[in-house]
Amino acid sequence: MQQAVETKPSPLERQLKVAVPVAQLEADIAQRIKQLARTVKMQGFRPGKVPLKMVERHYGFQVRQEALSDSVQRLFAEAVRSQNYRVAGMPRFEPVQAGADATAFEFQAVFEVYPEITMGELAERKVTRPVTEVSDKDVEATIETLRKQRATYERVARGAANGDLVNIDFAGTVDGAPFEGGSGQNFTVVLGEGRMLPAFEAALLGLAEGAQKSFPIVFPEDYVEHLKGKTAEFAVKVNQVAEPRLAEVNADFARSLGVEDGDVSRMRNEIRQNIEREVRKRIQARVKEQVMEGLVGSATFEVPRSLIEAETARMHEAAVADLKSRGMTSQNIELPADLFADRARHRVTLGLLVADIVRKNELAARADQVRKVIEEHAESFEQPAEMVRWFYTQPERMGEVEAVVMEDNVVEWSLARMKVEDKPTAFEELMGTKKA
């Protein structure tokens, strides 16, 4: 085998020439044909009795391509090992022109290698860690939300108010013409939930059953492209107004939340535990985001183009599949791959950083850490032990957990080197429910 390092078009790109001797390739092909002849089936011949020439005539091209591909791949792997290259992405093999009397088939392998990552001084990076205490008030507010989610509605003859469920018929036009999504029959909306534009909901306040009203709405600048900034005229008829009846906080309510014996005190304790678990997750997520951004800002390295392209394609395929699952057809989906390029670059950058830090600092996921994460996740299910056992039978899920644990190890390692400032944070602010 011959190998030679060629030019380096970019800091990470490498080129190797590999040569497969003709004699060696022909011997390999002959051996494969003999092995194939032992099992191949052809009409008029018993298995294993088909003449070699017939086997070669029918399968020779396919066998030759497979033999050549396998040889090139094997020789490339040997060359990579001898040069201690860490190959990133898939190599591209290009045949090299040779004369008719050449004694070898030459290929040039073009590939990228993983970058050498240089980490800056992490002590200059600052992380703000939220500190949030769950109070009785927060528990009661959560219970109130749960009551609203389980509310029943009773028809009333008064004008609509915030919290009421209103059933309407509506039709909208822009410049006198109807537009997609601008009309509906027996459409229900709970006023104050923000499902509709604020101005639309405000126009319904005070309207009783049977009332009709026309009013203009100016679509905001961040609305859908063909409507943003335009003025629509809406005509609305109110079919029904119903006010909420909230569930009593009693044993039946507790049972509806999974507390089998209906103990209200136990229900409150479980709600508090769930809230505290969610608070910890939110805090961890905020800290992790800051740490990862700090690592990206501190590191200097080139990102392999092949990895970015592969991640871009993967994200594009996932987005298209998601849209198809929602009922869209291929003809209606216009998603240029470039839309995902920046996010793909960011993901690859973080992935390389995390992997490098894990490798250099021995931060791989330990079995006890993986077990702890799985058990914590299983706590929110009715049968935690069954969920834990299920995880351990799913290699893909186990891989995801191990990746999370490694990232958590990197976060902990980084926090020990960064400036960490604890900041008291209101529960509503952390949960994103604070009213403006």
With residue 243 as reference, give the H or E element that holds it: strand 231-245
pLDDT digits (tens, 9 = 90+) for 378-434: 887 878 899 999 999 999 999 999 999 999 999 999 999 999 999 999 999 998 876
Q: Give 111's strand partners.
A: 14
Question: Reduced to 3 states, what is the DSSP secondary structure of residue 132?
Answer: coil
What is the tens place of the pLDDT at every residue in 280-290? 999 999 999 99
Q: Which residues contact 414 (CB under 8 A, 6 or more apart)?
A: 122, 291, 294, 295, 357
Does residue 121 surpass a pLDDT of 50?
A: yes
**Section 89-113 average pLDDT:** 84
Number of CB atoms found within 10 A of residue 20's CB: 21
The pTM (predicted TM-score) of the whole model is 0.72
The whole-angstrom separation of Cα 129 and Cα 427 is 14
Give yes or no for residue 4 having a pLDDT over 90.
Answer: no
Beta bridge partners, 113, equal 87
pLDDT tens-digit profile of 44-78? 787 777 888 888 888 889 999 999 999 999 999 99
Find the mean pLDDT for residues 303-316: 92
Looking at residue 5, the DSSP 8-state letter turns out to be B
Question: Which residues, in sequence order, are CB contacts of 345 under 8 Å at separation 6+?
Answer: 303, 308
How many whole angstroms separate alpha carbon 110 and alpha carbon 73? 13
Strand partners for 347: none
CATH of domain 151-245: 3.10.50.40
Q: What are the Cα distances from residue 306, in Å, to 86, 303, 356?
A: 13, 9, 18
Contact 235, 214 (CB under 8 A): yes
Mean pLDDT along residues 270-283: 93
Query: Which tokens go with 321?
Result: 């599949």
Q: Does the domain formed by 13-113 have CATH 3.40.50.2000?
A: no
Residue 65 C-alpha from the chain's centroid: 38
Q: Sketch the domain layout of the chain as residue ranges.
A: 13-113, 122-133+253-431, 151-245
Joined together, the tokens standing for residue 111 give: 């590939």
- Per-residue pLDDT, 164: 94
CATH placement of domain 122-133+253-431:
1.10.3120.10
Q: Hey, what are 251's tokens?
A: 């044993």
